């Protein structure tokens, strides 16, 4: 019996040792799980922060895209306005050229009119001289007539 008690005591001692080792391993495992849990929680927090920063970055990119689109639209409108201004400038250039041509022709006509007026003035002087001659001749016709008549008698 004593051997059986001793065997039982040894078995119980061995079971206690195994149980203590299992408790220690369970405790170590619990600490490891707690460490993993903390690290998982920290990773989850970093993940949430990263997601938040990613969403903010995405919003910034979307805003940048909107601004770029508006800028592109404004650039297109400005290009259209510039094209219209360029077209208007071309029309104004044609209009200005036409007016310049008309002004040049008007100046030529004025010059021709001045020349013709000068010629007319000269012709008028000549006609005036002839008029005086004819008037003198006419005024002398009665006396010439009388002289001719008297000489013919």
pLDDT band at 1; cut points 50, 70, 90: low
pLDDT tens digits, 127-137: 888 889 888 87
pLDDT in tens, 61-75: 999 999 999 999 999
With residue 8 as reference, give the H or E element that holds it. Answer: helix 2-152
The string of pLDDT tens digits covering residues 37-92 is: 999 999 999 999 999 999 999 999 999 999 999 999 999 999 999 999 999 998 98
* Among 72, 92, 96, residue whose Cα is nearest residue 84: 92
C-alpha span between 132 and 63 (Å, rounded):
99
Using only C-alpha atoms, the chain has a radius of gyration, in whole angstroms, of 64
Q: How far is CA 123 from CA 72, 117, 127, 128, 137, in A?
A: 75, 9, 6, 8, 20
Maximum Cα interatomic distance, the chain, rounded to a whole number of Å: 218
Q: Stretch 99-114: mean pLDDT, rounded?
A: 89
């Amino acid at each position: 019996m004593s051997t059986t008690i001793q065997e039982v005591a040894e078995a119980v001692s061995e079971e206690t040792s195994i149980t203590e080792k299992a408790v220690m391993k369970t405790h170590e495992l619990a600490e490891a799980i707690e460490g993993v849990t903390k690290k998982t929680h920290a990773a989850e927090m970093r993940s949430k922060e990263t997601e938040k920063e990613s969403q903010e970055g995405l919003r910034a990119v979307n805003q940048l895209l909107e601004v770029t689109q508006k800028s592109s639209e404004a650039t297109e409108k400005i290009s259209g306005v510039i094209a219209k201004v360029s077209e208007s400038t071309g029309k104004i250039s044609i209009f200005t050229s036409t007016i310049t041509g008309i002004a040049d022709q008007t100046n030529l006509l004025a010059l021709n009119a001045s020349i013709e007026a000068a010629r007319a003035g000269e012709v008028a002087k000549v006609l005036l001289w002839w008029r005086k001659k004819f008037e003198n001749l006419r005024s002398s016709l009665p006396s010439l007539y009388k002289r001719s008549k008297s000489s013919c008698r």
